Amino acid sequence: AQSVAQPEDQVNVAEGNPLTVKCTYSVSGNPYLFWYVQYPNRGLQFLLKYITGDNLVKGSYGFEAEFNKSQTAFHLKKPSALVSDSALYFCAVRGISGYSTLTFGKGTMLLVSP
């Protein structure tokens, strides 16, 4: 069975500082990895994905994520946080075989203070 762990319920960072939201995964074979963001009272929005190729993936709103196969990690990063980045972030994984569906982590709340 595939699974995702987001070890932090909440991450606090000051505006202008770099941010990292952690994600580790478990899946049979090679993974497809995703990050989604949820703003208050909204549905989830796609940020970025890793399918294959470069381990550093760039996405929307200046976010990026690094795929680390040896550590089974896919941490979300941004060099300089904005107050508007405050939201709930979900990591998700699926396998490459057949009709494999996405499994989401529990989510990490990111709070960026002015």
Element (H, E) at 48: strand 44-50
Please state the closest distance from residue 37 (CB atom) to other proteins, in A: 11
Please state the closest distance from residue 105 (CB atom) to other proteins, in A: 6
Please state the closest distance from residue 52 (CB atom) to other proteins, in A: 9
Query: Residue 77 to residues 35, 65, 72, 101: CA-CA distances in angstroms?
Result: 11, 6, 16, 25
- Mask for 61-90, x = binds other proteins (CB under 8 A): -----------------------------x
C-beta of residue 8 within 8 angstroms of C-beta of residue 15: no
Task: Give residues in contact with other proteins (CB under 8 A).
Answer: 9, 32, 34, 36, 41-46, 49, 51, 90, 94, 96, 98-107
